[in-house]
Structure 1
Amino acid sequence: MQISRGNSWGNVVVIEPSDWQTRWKHNFFHPRGEEQAIINRFSDATFRYLTRDQRIAGYFPAEGGYGGGLNLHGHTETFLHREGHIVAFETHPKFDYVAGDATLSWQPEQARLVLRQVVFVKPDLLIIYDRVRLGEKAQRAHWLAATGLDLVTQANCFRVRSGKAYLYGVVAFPSSPKLVAIDPSTSPKYRLMFDPQALSLKVLEIHPNEQGSGHGAQDRTVEFLVAMRIGLGALPTMTVTPQLMANRIGVTVRTNGQTVQVSFDRNDVCGGEIVIANGAQTLRHRLREQVNDTYENWRTDPRYQLWRREARFDFLAVK
């Protein structure tokens, strides 16, 4: 796979109007060993909260808070404030699931709730559900990703290629979204946010349609549900069908003779259900609503007993 030089970063839902571009530039414009932030660690809200904590408790983190938040370089994270944290997790032989809360990455008037749930169906299917409740001063939100070197969009689908590798995505929700592919090297909006060595990357924006198909028109909730598959060679045949109910949102993905149905609860608790059907075998599992950092779901897998017996797997702490 061809790898671009310079910084790399993934995707997130951004809220506007805000100063997210300035903050992200501070975080990404200088290379730090391919540091990849998961949550923006330079949000204005962070420094406001840190100043409050200093006045109340007399505590101020090293480097004035630079480095706080959930990221892969968080050497000065403060224990008094977390921009983002994991609220649910579990692992299973057929899938992994994680949910996070990034509400404190934004000021209260910009966001009242920012949740993300991610299901990875092994070996190559990823489903992401974002739920954002806008604050009183927020006007809009869109899904943003820095992708690979070759990005193409068509209707509600996008494809990223790098050499023989591909990432193929389908936006299941909102309906009739607007997908925009951007070359940061020619974009005044994005050019200064990238290290010059990373300008070969492309940017993908996903916007709700003008009617605003979010679940909560009254409570100003914006939702994004995206299914993605990765692999090598030709693009796969993949059918993606959304399911929309009052209290639940989901997607059914059919590919390689397998049907995967994932649904998420549309409330402030990160819950849901996954169903994987492959021939005569069907797995139905309720997604955890808390962190379960164990191998409980692996007990019937042949590898589990091997992990328990052999000393080379002691780091797994399997009991």
Structure 2
Amino acid sequence: MIYDSGLLPICPGYNTLTLADLNVHVTNYFTWTIQFYGLTGRVGRRAGVLLYDPPSIGRSYSDFWQKYTSGWQLLIFNELTPANFATRIEAAPDTPVQIVSVVCSNENNYIKISAPPGTVCRISASDDFLNWTSVALCLLSNNTAIVSDHNLSNIKFYRIEKIVEPYMRLKNLTIFKNKKNRLEIEGSPNTPFAIEATSDISVPQWTVITNLVLNTINVSIIVPPSESTTRFYRTVAIDSVMQSSGLLWSSNLFPIITSTGPPGKRCVIEASHDLLNWRSIATNTFSFTSYSMQQPDFSNSDASSIYYRVRILD
């Protein structure tokens, strides 16, 4: 699946809904579906999509799929009317991965590059087109970025290449007076990763602090105090699809954990006071019509010192 809009409200009469700035990749040919909820099929409780033929752009076949209680069925209009519905999808090509310009100032070269946001690029330099030295590894948060090269010698040539594998690094560490640590992590969006810690890097026994999905380029995480005076951290990219969750408060002050995940997958919601000892709160399943769910925690109304996590069950 490329994109799911979730539930959108409609009113009696004709409705036009616009979904802008989706930022998803599409192929030249793809299928889109519309699903209606809360309708009985009676008069005044029906809905459908509007035929629009000939289309302003694009085309459709004469048949289309419609889902009934028994499953999907292939339908066709009378007189072979094309199944062109009133929708328009606009797509634009990605920003090219390229070097835009090189400017020399104060004995430094400033290389302006362009690429789609979230792309990791390596900029390399050479003076003979044979031997290349890495200048910088850059994660773009916008369509353009500027990288500086301070090691000027002879005439230099630059090249840029896109890094396909997931990129991630610990950008900064802040230690507070209450001995809590704030980790600032930078990496490729939609990358599942684990934060691990150890007190002895010579004989490392890494302990998983938490598992997360990097939904944005930068994320900050607060880590509780450790019993050891020294602590080392690292981030490890993982293959499993993890859940992202947030915390809300209900009217009766019960914490509600909001989670997103793959449809059909069962998960367990757990709570902990120290990120080491976890207890199960509930199990749930992500449905095929909604990728999100909310699970209230009635076991403890004081969630000021409670941490939550969501794990997928095999």
Compute the TM-score of the two structures, normalised by the length of structure 1: 0.22
User: Which structure ranks higher in relative contact order (CA pairs < 8 Å, sequence separation ≥ 6)?
Assistant: 1
The structure that has the greater radius of gyration is: 2
More helix by share: 1
